[in-house]
Amino acid sequence: MDTTATVNYHVAAPFEQAFHIDPNGDEGKLVSPELVPTRVKVRDVRNGVALDFARDGVMFVDSVSAIRDFDASNGWQETYNRELSDLLVRKIGAKESIVFDHTVRIDDPVSTRRPARNVHTDYSPSGAQQRLRDLLGERADDWEAGHFAFVNVWRPVRNPVVTAPLGFVLPQSVVDEDWVNVNVIYPDRVGAILGLVANEAHEWIYFSCMTSDEVALFNIFDNHERPAIAHSALDLLGEGSVETPRVSIESRTLVRY
């Protein structure tokens, strides 16, 4: 079934664009480049739509976790990282994986980490190469000689997602000219992502009412040219106010096939 949502596309510009994260140490503050709110049609793929990770860059799978509370103590990380590594072996055939970042996002104006509402993928090719070296140092050469990728694992926390669900643009509906380079300036480093410019040909999908026992696996960068997938939180038309805002955990992983 199709629904309508608002997303924020990037714009093509002749100058360098950037997000500034926590500028001057102001945690939770975000300074954004120009974005264009745009209404799009979104297809719910919960019932009977087959997705192929290598082709589509995303898959939705059942994944029950022993962790129910991703609190600030981080005592859950060792167990959860093992779960994710096992999941990546079983579902996408990873031979080795490194889980290197977790971000809990809350769809609340007072949250320091809200859902990302810009259409993007997390690394440009240069950003991915730099992140690989940041993580592995001299071992990066060995990984680059084979097949490696950055893959995100996204899971709702506690309640089913009814606000700001995560939406994806099927890669086969995107052309190279739709992508623009965008820097991400952190207090301690500079990253590089790809933003997506609006195109009426884009095919949007999402998985409705995801629960904490379901995850999205999606491809961010692949050095053997499996497609990276553009994604964004969706503001669904008619969503209205709800008592249970989205809480989710996004885990970034580096995998070797």
Q: 125: part of which helix (H) or strand (E)?
A: helix 125-136
Residue ranges per domain, the chain?
A: 2-256
Distances (CA, A) of 34 to 15, 43, 50, 75, 182: 12, 27, 35, 38, 11
Query: Is 0.85 surpassed by the pTM of this model?
Result: yes
* Distance from the Cα of residue 107 to its chain's centroid: 15
pLDDT in tens, the chain (257 residues): 789 999 999 999 988 898 887 877 777 677 789 999 999 999 999 987 889 999 999 999 999 999 999 998 889 999 999 999 999 999 999 999 999 999 999 998 888 899 999 999 999 999 999 999 999 999 999 999 999 999 999 999 989 999 999 999 999 999 999 999 998 888 888 888 999 999 999 999 999 999 999 999 999 999 998 999 999 999 998 765 667 889 999 999 999 99
Q: Just give the CATH number of 2-256.
A: 2.60.120
Torsion sign over Cα 46, 49, 52, 58: negative
CB 148 within 8 A of CB 132: yes
